[in-house]
Amino acid sequence: MSSLEPLEAFYGLPRDVVFCRKCVISNQRPSSTVEFKHKADEKKATIGFDEDGVCDACRYHEVKDERIDWKKREDQLVALLDKFRRTDGGYDVVVPGSGGKDSAYTSHMLKYRYGMNPLTVTWAPHLYTDIGWKNFEAWTHVGGHDNLLFTPNGKLHRLLTSLAFKNLLHPFQPFIVGQRIIGPAIAAKFDIPLVMYGENQAEYGNNPDDNYVPTMDRKFFSTQDPLEMRLGGVPVADIIRDHGFTINDFAPYIPPSAEQLEKKNIEVHYLGYYLKWDPQECYYYAVENTGFQANSERTPGTYSKYSSIDDKIDMFHYFTTLIKFGIGRATYDAAQEIRNGKITRSEGVHLVRKYDQEFPAKYYEDFLDYVGMTDPEFWETVDRFRSPHLWEKSGNGWQLRHVVEDLAD
């Protein structure tokens, strides 16, 4: 390849890497969580930037700060809850979550400020951390909530996680599918007509139009033949054929249809539409009201101690986003804290450059055991997914071609 020829960009990512002038996110951030394929011609939407070099997420935070009447939004929330509120002892809202800061905040607010009777439901982590289990127990015992803990078939879930890592470099894909389905699925099973998630991921750079809609699109639940679903990058029919499972084993991963939800009048809402969402303030609230504890040490790959700390596999999800998109965990953390006024952009740049490329060694052996891989197999897989426009190989290994810079320098 001539040095003048543009470097190949996998996944349909923009070849020119641009960093937001307000936060630290780059234009390589995908705008949704559906599967990426390891092909340059697989077009994929990424976070939008305006003509001033500012990302969609930062622009929406300006809207949150300046243009939304939050008192009016809260009045809308109360009217919504009044519509579903029960006084006969039954559950009137499902709150999916792990007992982390966001779900603890959501469920506690609904129960103790707004007088609802939530059933909290949890799609179990792959491998609980010690602090994750403590916080899960505190959610029920200190926070005072009923909970259903759903743990999928471990043999199948390990296989799906392994396939997702090998085929997509996305070990969290099966978990994300289950986590998103569990709330509406439990609501449909127990005839609870309201599901309330915390924030909408559109706040962080997914489709910005979704920020102006309080509900999850039911089209997500319109599914094709379950045998044609792809989990871990593989059709379910192929997994059944090759690994000895049956279609019944996949029941937890098959979403209720939009027709089922409509027939039972089930609505899926985001609390972040009605109440101004701030992850750090959710943390403070959860500590004060539900017994939530931060970890005793920062999470590898970032500087924070309280976000997404319940699963040993979680940090490898963020490591794979670093490999595929050049965006690690410190970038995600710093970007939202800049937007929420907790740190400056200069501070965020320093934190990203210090921690973003740190390898999550603490649970590496646990990860290898979970997905059934050796160390050489792990790195061979990882290196296949490095896009040439993001990474270059040097005598010291791999280096990112582009890193965020302090505009004040």
Choose which CATH entry (3.40.630, 3.40.50, 3.90.1690, 1.10.10) describes domain 70-274.
3.40.50
pLDDT, block means (10 residues), the chain with 409 residues: 73 95 97 49 72 97 96 98 96 96 97 98 97 97 97 98 97 94 94 95 90 82 81 96 97 89 92 97 97 96 94 97 98 97 98 97 97 98 97 91 90
CB-based contact 68:346 (threshold 8 Å): no
List 197's β-bridge partners, or say none.
270
**Cα(26)–Cα(286) distance, integer angstroms:** 31
Q: Which residue has the tokens 């090998």?
A: 166
In angstroms, rounded to a whole number, what is the distance separating the alpha carbons of residues 406 and 146?
47
* Domain residue ranges in the chain: 10-66+294-400, 70-274
The span from the CA of 66 to the CA of 327, in Å, is 29
What would the two tokens of residue 147 be? 């909970």
C-alpha 230/C-alpha 79 separation (Å) is 39
Contacts with 17 (C-beta within 8 Å, 6 or more apart), sequence order: 26, 27, 28, 326, 389, 390, 401, 402
Contacts of residue 149, Cβ cutoff 8 Å, sequence gap at least 6: 122, 124, 136
How far apart (Å, rounded) are the C-alpha atoms in residues 33 and 179? Answer: 12
Taking the model in full, what pTM does it have? 0.93
Identify which of 79, 75, 72, 148 has the alpha carbon closest to the alpha carbon of residue 107.
148
Name the DSSP class of 223: -
Tokens at 242, concatenated: 């090759």
| Vertex 290: Cα angle to 288 and 292 (nearest 5) | 80
Rounded to an integer, what is the distance from CA 357 to the centroid of its chain?
Answer: 19
Q: Is 389 helix (H, G, I), strand (E, B) or coil?
A: coil
N-term to C-term CA, the chain: 34
Output the 3-class SS for 96-129: ECCCCHHHHHHHHHHHHHCCCCEEEEEECCCCEC
Query: What three-state secondary structure class fits 152?
Result: coil
Radius of gyration, alpha carbons of the chain:
21
**The predicted structure's pLDDT at residue 31:** 84
- Among 54, 46, 66, which residue's Cα sits nearest to residue 23? 54
Rounded Cα distance, 9 and 224, in Å: 31
Closest CA to 234 of 384, 37, 371: 37
Cα 378 versus chain centre, distance: 23
Q: 267-270 and 194-197 as β-strands: parallel, antiparallel, unpaired?
A: parallel
Backbone angles phi, psi at 294, to 5 degrees: -70, 160
